[in-house]
Amino acid sequence: MANLKRNSIELVTGVEGDEVVTERYWTPPFIPLSVTYEALDLSQELSSQEGKSERDLMDKLIDFVATKIYAGRFTKEQLQNGLHAPDAIQTLQEQIMFIAQGQQSDATKKFLEKKD
């Protein structure tokens, strides 16, 4: 069990002129299976939208990523303010896919290969 899968997310922490300053956050080394069940429920809720506003669903997604997947390594506000708007939804969906199906992004795989 020494090689547990991990995932990361890169958030913008500041802007200096035309350059952005980012910080990479890693998931905890162990994420319980119960979080997978929650991710599956959230995925189903997102796809059905059962009378809920898109904003409410987005808030749930942001809360889940910050508190459950990354276990409070950053706040919901840091996540909201640190994602580039055009890529935000895709980035959040990739985080859910990591939990629900164990899928890591290509960027994370490459980063981990360099790290080893």
Instruction: Kindly report the average pLDDT of the chain as a whole number.
Output: 90
Whether the Cβ atoms of residue 92 and residue 61 lie closer than 8 Å to each other: yes
Q: Could you tell me the CA-to-CA distances from 83 to 3, 16, 40, 74 in Å, in that order?
A: 28, 16, 23, 12
Flag whether pLDDT at 65 surpasses 90: yes
pLDDT band at 105 (very low <50, low <70, confident <90, very high): confident
Question: Is the predicted pLDDT of residue 59 greater than 90, yes or no?
Answer: yes
The model carries a pTM of: 0.87
